[in-house]
């Protein structure tokens, strides 16, 4: 199916944009959530660049931060005159769920899982290392079973600084790989956070695998994925744009559903 898509992922602290053509990601940009004018300007520029293409197109927002997403959607609608589709409101995430009744799962987790399943078509574990670290399991039938949520690297470092009298404010990075010990305060903090997250993921992967009875592929995404897992033999793939790709999967599925119903489309999903 041929279509163009502007996908927008509104996170807790950052907004990521992706421009897709036929499920292929052509361009991405990431901004702090408070850079609303720049986000709108970028999305508007991409959208108007699609004017001369006689193809279905859509502008889709997924969000775990609705206060930001609502303002963004209103501004984009005013600028583009287009209908802004929202994941969870207008578009469903195409993945099964096995969760407690009434459970509401963050769209980022479901979209990342849907994107991983769309490509792999086999059981997998999806690790998203951003503001929070999530480790989720998708079974061999494409059903999302949930998983675990922990504080992300920067959240942990911020808490160490804010909740103690003497620990400094530091940026997250990989600690010196040649040193097993943190020989100063900053390195000790980095070792605690870096190795703590990696150890958490290892333990959860073991736990999920034991419960499932097989060892699934492990896919990592999120802003800190490369720093944390770039050399980790446990992680089979690092896909930075996994959630954006999940938005593309949701848009493609919605367009396919419209086509099957006999509607000849238009310019929206």
Closest CA to 242 of 7, 67, 31: 7
Regions of the chain short of the pLDDT cut 70: 1, 51-53, 257-269
The model's pLDDT over 190-208, given as tens digits with 9 standing for 90+, comes to 999 999 999 999 999 999 9
Q: Is 4 within 8 Å of 44 (Cβ atoms)? A: no
Identify the pLDDT of residue 108: 94
Give yes or no: residues 142 and 222 share one domain.
yes
Phi, then psi, of 87 in degrees rounded to 5? -65, 135
Any idea which residues carry the catalytic annotation?
A: 108
pLDDT at 22: 82
- Give the C-alpha distances (Å, rounded to integers) separating 18 from 27, 70, 204, 249, 259: 6, 18, 30, 13, 24
Q: Are residues 211 and 248 in the same domain?
A: no
What are the structure tokens assigned to 255, written together? 């367009």
- Residues 148 and 205 grouped into a single domain: yes
* Residue 164 belongs to a domain: yes
24 within some domain = yes
CATH number, domain with residue 48: 3.30.420.40
The answer as to whether 117 is a domain residue is no
Residues 14 and 60 reside in one and the same domain: yes
Q: Give a yes or no: residue 107 inside a domain.
A: no
The residue range of the domain holding 51 is 3-92+244-260
User: Which pLDDT score, from 0 to 100, does residue 258 have?
Assistant: 61
**Does residue 12 contact residue 131 with C-beta atoms inside 8 Å?**
yes
pLDDT of residue 140: 96
**128 and 200 co-located in one domain:** yes
Asked whether residue 248 falls in the same domain as residue 233, the answer is no
108 within a domain of the structure (yes/no): no
Residues 142 and 218 in one domain: yes
Regarding whether 217 and 142 lie in a shared domain, the answer is: yes
Whether residue 256 is found in the same domain as residue 226: no
Domain annotation covers residue 61 = yes
Both tokens of 125, joined, read: 């574990």
Shared-domain flag, residues 169 and 227? yes
Please check whether residue 113 lies inside any domain of the structure: no
Residues 209 and 250 in one domain: no
Q: Look at the chain and report how many structural domains it folds into.
A: 2
According to the model, what pLDDT value does residue 267 have? 44
What is the C-alpha separation between 136 and 125, in angstroms, rounded?
6
The predicted structure's pLDDT at residue 264: 47
Task: Determine, yes or no, domain membership for 159.
Answer: yes
CB-count burial class (<10 Å; 0-12, 13-18, 19+) for 261: exposed
Q: Do 232 and 249 fall within a single domain?
A: no
């Amino acid at each position: 199916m041929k279509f163009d898509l502007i996908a927008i992922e509104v996170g807790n602290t950052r907004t990521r944009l992706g421009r897709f053509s036929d499920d292929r990601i052509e361009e991405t940009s990431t901004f702090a959530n408070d850079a609303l004018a720049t986000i709108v300007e970028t999305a508007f520029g991409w959208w108007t660049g699609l004017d001369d293409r006689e193809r279905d197109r859509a502008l889709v927002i997924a969000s775990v931060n609705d206060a930001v997403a609502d303002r963004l959607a209103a501004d984009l609608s005013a600028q583009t005159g287009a209908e802004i589709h929202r994941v969870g409101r207008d578009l469903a995430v195409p993945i099964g769920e096995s969760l407690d009744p009434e459970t509401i799962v963050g769209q980022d987790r479901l979209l990342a899982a849907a994107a991983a399943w769309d490509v792999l078509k086999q059981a997998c574990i999806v690790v998203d290392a951003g503001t929070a670290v999530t480790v989720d399991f998708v079974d061999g039938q494409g059903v999302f079973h949930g998983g675990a949520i922990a504080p992300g690297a920067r959240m942990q470092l911020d808490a160490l600084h804010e909740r103690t009298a003497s620990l400094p404010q530091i940026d997250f990075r990989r600690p010196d790989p040649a040193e097993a010990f943190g020989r100063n305060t900053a390195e000790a903090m980095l070792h605690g956070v870096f190795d703590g997250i990696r150890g958490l993921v290892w333990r959860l992967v073991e736990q999920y695998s034991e419960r499932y009875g097989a060892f699934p592929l492990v896919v990592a995404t999120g802003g800190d994925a490369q720093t944390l897992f770039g050399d980790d033999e446990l992680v089979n793939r690092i896909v930075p744009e996994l959630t954006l790709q999940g938005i593309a999967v949701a848009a493609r599925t919605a367009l396919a559903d419209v086509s099957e119903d006999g509607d000849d489309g238009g310019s929206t999903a």
